[in-house]
Amino acid sequence: MNKILNFNDAVIALANYFVEDLVPAMHNVTMATKDTEYSQLLATGTKKVLIKLRSGTAPLKLAYVSTESGTNYVTLPVGTSKWLEGAWLSGITLYFQSPTAAQIAEIEAWS
């Protein structure tokens, strides 16, 4: 048995435990037009998701229902990301938009 010597080692060991059998998928969704809804279907078996804008210079509006990313959404402020885990993510679709044109949504999905 390995001995954990400090807090950082404990965090790394715990992270490795939870992602040990998961495989990442990277999605880069180009959002050419401002205030236009884009989407990304998550694969069956998805357990964890990270979403953010590549530029870090605009907010992102995130929704879980089609056509609601402009009315019923969660705002990711400039330069932030959203990490989803421990929820039923398998096979759902993320819907998102930005009030700024020419953005790229980066989505890291683990299944």
As beta bridge partners, residue 48 has: 85, 110
DSSP states of the chain? -PPP-SHHHHHHHHHHHHHTT--EEEEEEEE-STT--EEEEPPTT--EEEEEESSSSS-EEEESSTT-TTTS-EEE-TT-EEEEESS--TT-EEEEE-SSSSEEEEEEEE-
Fold of 22-110: Jelly Rolls (2.60.120)
pLDDT of residue 83: 94
Q: Which residue has the tokens 């096979």?
A: 91
**pLDDT above 90: residue 100:** yes
pLDDT tens digits, 53-67:
999 899 999 999 999
Residue type (1 letter), 40: Q
